[in-house]
Structure 1
């Protein structure tokens, strides 16, 4: 069967795709997205380094903005060679690896069932009729017939991804999918038609990504924010652009390209975005205080350098017409990279975020989760156990820190 081959600039602020039908003008909005990372060992076992061969990968994603038709974007951003997608389907999730049978749809790429994606590139599928309401889940299934080599992925999905041997894209049952991880592979975006737009992107590190939340429970802070907006009668799509371990200024083989390097791809390129929440700097500060292989690179970063980084992101967002909300860093007394130096930097950066007036609005996460008895410490009721990442209750408290009118 014919294969669609694409060559799309992976670092441009606005992506185009010659093989995907564009749909009616101005109707596509990003309903779900996740940043891509280079293959790595990660935080728990995953399949990124080995890749796939004659295997089917089934991924479940929950949208916070619905619609009447869907298309996906697949990324080979960090692939060592051409990536061939042999076949793909999408449907509404039943539960686990099962798909609601009457909703399963084939995905096409320029009218064909397969696509080849060059290294550093991406492809967007054609439109498929699929109705999803906000907070419903879609199941995307990819058959990877050829050996892929190491796989572009997102390490910390906090959602179950399933794998089966052979071609199982047409299966609506889950029996063949006997292997699982909690990462996402190749799948970077799901766009829907008929949504409301006005999307919010939560941009940050592991605390945005959801470390300390519960697998398959969708209780990260961006999830809680989307739920709060819907409950208030002002529903908005909220995209999670967090990467565990991510830094504002430094690229990392484990923890992704720096915030400065990935901002255009992970925020500005998403359709329908109107607001971005910038929450970052804790790892730039903390990594420099620990000499462990995991926390490399770990250069000393000054508060002034972090402010420069925040200003760069603010300026880029404003040029794109976005509202930019700054979020204060959380307390972390008791964490492995807490000391007097890191604590002083956190206080100074938070003071600038709160008082400089350079952000359009501020979400004071620090105040929302701090221990009332100790301003350097995470409230024990909100501590996931490592003294720097909140639990689900802490993420709900962070979502409650927003003045919704500023969004």
Structure 2
């Protein structure tokens, strides 16, 4: 299910020209160019990833989204929170799963207006037009990713940023990130430079085309110290409070900053993702997307891996979104994690493993999943194959029934943490392990 970049350039009457795997004045890659077998990639000088989201193929989801219908003569406005500051910003866009070239007519970046009631509004004096190879417009080939040029915009860590894209033509199905737990906005026509949010009458809880925000020139010198959290819906932040930045990645970034060790914390989770198998709803398997979505992000030094509950749990219950679900053994799951460890070591990135959270009482629970979860967690704790590990299983377990997540941390489905549970996950991490 891996998308293959066509990398065929179109002659444009206006805008930047993308040819092969390179853009004039911009950075573009294809999935084929960043596979697990690619050579070690050096960090890009001066740039650090400050926010990221792992792209997914268009699909239905748990909430309505616009990915399958796409966009037509509309403006898309999306709000994200960066965990690194700087004097310049650029965005990373993805048409990885697009069936046709994607035309970006214009794009802006701005600081988000203060206050939840502001919705799609931005700070009036902060709107910056983005360019791609010096041009305001660009066409991204099907299957390709692309970075904008840098724009002068001072951002502070933990500040919200608004990215606005004018999609003047019909896009077709859109590469997106299904579960954002943040509100995105849409309007008819071109509203890229609007400072108010009045025109943006439609909303969704997904991100589209936007795969990252990078910064440079901040108070901290550029370092390779970014932390990527890689995994499934628990990493993605499922059941966290929408628009409040309550994922465990947010809690960890805040804890690091409070401890005087502020650095980027990047969320590369995909709800439903699996280590060993692809899914139409839940993204490419982790062993396919790991290098692209985690290791190759600029400035990354450490990855924390929390994944495997879906590999073992989808087999156990009735999951109509993933059928037929194979019966995965502990050895198969461990071997999948070993592949991730090898990829990280080849890139010179520190890799930290995590035990699987308790799943008793959930729709992922059964005799097989309980047995495999216990065996896998024992391997994480005792094998020494990861550079370090964090024990979420013990930290979030109910003292009276360790097979289950503690009621204080349970979102209600006995599988995903609530906001308090995500904070507990961040608290249990040994910051020196990062």
What's the counterpart of residue 62 of structure 2? 43
In structure 2, how many angstroms separate the alpha carbons of the residues matched to 1:129 and 1:187?
Answer: 19
How far apart are 1:170 and its partner, in Å? 1.0
In structure 1, how many angstroms separate the alpha carbons of the residues matched to 2:301 and 2:337?
Answer: 18
More deviation, 147-156/191-200: 191-200
How far apart are 1:322 and its partner, in Å? 1.0
Provide structure 2 residue ranges, at least 5 long, that are not aligned to the other structure: 1-12, 22-28, 36-42
Q: What is the TM-score with the length of structure 2 in the denominator?
A: 0.90
In structure 2, how many angstroms separate the alpha carbons of the residues matched to 1:344 and 1:293?
Answer: 23
> Is 1:55 the equivalent of 2:74?
yes
What's the counterpart of residue 6 of structure 2? none
> Is 1:106 the equivalent of 2:106?
no
Which of 381, 394, 400 is 2:427 aligned to?
A: 400
In structure 1, how many angstroms separate the alpha carbons of the residues matched to 2:241 and 2:289?
Answer: 26
How far apart are 1:25 and its partner, in Å? 7.0
Aligned pairs for 1:296-311 (under 5 A) are 296-311=323-338
**SS where residue 325 of structure 1 aligns?**
strand
- Alpha-carbon spacing, 1:354–1:155, altered in 2? closer, same or farther (3 Å): same
What's the counterpart of residue 185 of structure 2? 162
Q: Deviations over 1:29-74 (max 9, x none)?
A: 1111110000011110010010000100000010011111001111
How far apart are 1:367 and its partner, in Å? 1.1
Please tell me whether the aligned partners of residues 41 and 254 of structure 1 are also in contact (alpha carbons under 8 angstroms). yes
Please tell me whether the aligned partners of residues 98 and 173 of structure 1 are also in contact (alpha carbons under 8 angstroms). yes
- Alpha-carbon spacing, 1:80–1:67, altered in 2? closer, same or farther (3 Å): same
How far apart are 1:297 and its partner, in Å? 4.7
What's the counterpart of residue 380 of structure 2? 353
**SS where residue 278 of structure 1 aligns?**
strand
How far apart are 1:295 and its partner, in Å? 2.1
In structure 1, how many angstroms separate the alpha carbons of the residues matched to 2:378 and 2:251?
Answer: 26
In structure 2, how many angstroms separate the alpha carbons of the residues matched to 1:25 and 1:276?
Answer: 18
Which of 124, 141, 158 is 2:164 aligned to?
A: 141
What's the counterpart of residue 79 of structure 1? 98
Provide structure 1 residue ranges, at least 5 long, that are not aligned to the other structure: 15-23
Aligned pairs for 1:299-338 (under 5 A) are 299-338=326-365
What's the counterpart of residue 10 of structure 1? 30
Cα root mean square deviation, aligned: 1.3
Please tell me whether the aligned partners of residues 250 and 297 of structure 1 are also in contact (alpha carbons under 8 angstroms). no
Q: What is the TM-score with the length of structure 1 in the denominator?
A: 0.96
Q: Deviations over 1:271-309 (max 9, x none)?
A: 000000011110000011234321235111111011101
How far apart are 1:194 and its partner, in Å? 2.4
Report how many aligned residue pairs link the two structures. Answer: 398
Aligned pairs for 1:8-407 (under 5 A) are 8=21, 9-11=29-31, 12-13=33-34, 26-94=45-113, 95-195=118-218, 196=220, 197=223, 198-407=225-434
